[in-house]
Amino acid sequence: MKKDFLAVSDYTPSELQEMIDLAVSLKKEHFAGGNKPIFKGKVLAMIFQKPSLRTRMSFDMAMRHLGGDALYLSPAEIGLGQRESIADVARVISGYVDAIMARVFDHAHVIELARWSSIPVINGLSDYNHPCQAMADALTIIEKFKTLKGLNISFIGDGNNVAVSLLHICAKLGANFTLASPEGYDMLPAAIEDGRKFAAASGSKLNFIRDPHEAVKHAHVIYTDTWTSMGQEAETEKRIKVFPPYQVNQKLVSEADKDVIVMHCLPAHRGQELTDEVADGPHSVIFPQAHNRLHAQKAVLVKLLAA
């Protein structure tokens, strides 16, 4: 296994499947009486440039469930790359704890942390990707459909960091991926190029289109995310005018497979990208998906720390 967890694209399909299988067994173990305290004496440092509910709680509780501890470091405490160089921060923290989780604005920051750290670094989110979310997404889909292979997964909206990691895990594990995004909000070409390479190896079909109605035909999964991500607040007014045709509402869901599940990484802006009727409806798995962050991240931590 690699030292760090920075992108699902860094891992082979068998390594990703192994981590998902481990997440399944750790989740079962947790609900059958608790996880074994295999991280006794181990500490995870959690660096946050962006605020968080799910990332902070899921990593903190993952460490506690496994017998370890987590240390929260707020944006003001470090000032990553401002108050002190990233290289110095990485080398200092490496002497105190056993692993680092970083939730950053700039993907280059998490890459730099990993470069200079002598302990594992986990990407808790960057402007480029969100690999921890993708692991929880894959776990959630597999719990419903038993596999990703051959499923049709449609992401509706901005080709953002969440979409990048979802594309890559789908392409690695054989799911067909469709992105329906408005003009000007496409996924980065380099991310698509990587996805095409992985899809060629797994047999996945990839589709990048404009029409959300076409995108959901035969979809087993409809996935959406906020129209304006953290750090893009200046674009809010513009985006609110562009994205309404991409709202996941009851009409759109009714055009998909009858057993479709609706996913959202949260936080949701209800009434924008997702209606209440869908978020709280029978096809929604947004809360089990959020809870699966805990179990998927346990598997990542075990692979990196228990090796």
Residues 6+ apart with CB under 8 A from 249: 275, 277, 278
Which member of 54, 265, 272, 283 is catalytic? 265
Is 225 catalytic? The answer is yes
Which member of 65, 103, 109, 239 is catalytic? 103
Residues 6+ apart with CB under 8 A from 75: 48, 49, 50
Which member of 65, 168, 264, 293 is catalytic? 293
Residues 6+ apart with CB under 8 A from 162: 130, 133, 134, 155, 223, 225, 265
What is the rounded distance in angstroms from the CA atom of residue 61 to the CA atom of residue 57? Answer: 6
Instruction: Supply the Cα-derived Rg of the chain in whole angstroms.
Output: 19
Whether the Cβ atoms of residue 208 and residue 186 lie closer than 8 Å to each other: yes
What is the rounded distance in angstroms from the CA atom of residue 231 to the CA atom of residue 126? Answer: 11
Is 21 catalytic? The answer is no
Which member of 54, 130, 220, 295 is catalytic? 130
Is 269 catalytic? The answer is no
Which member of 133, 272, 289, 297 is catalytic? 133
Q: Is 229 exposed, middle or buried (0-12, 13-18, 19+ CB in 10 A)?
A: middle
Question: Helix or strand or coil: residue 28?
Answer: helix
Which member of 225, 239, 264, 297 is catalytic? 225
Whether the Cβ atoms of residue 245 and residue 255 lie closer than 8 Å to each other: no
Is 168 catalytic? The answer is no
Other beta carbons less than 10 A from residue 10's beta carbon: 14
Is 170 catalytic? The answer is no
Tokens 């002497």 belong to which residue? Answer: 95
Is 257 catalytic? The answer is no
Q: Which positions are annotated as active-site residues?
A: 103, 130, 133, 225, 265, 293
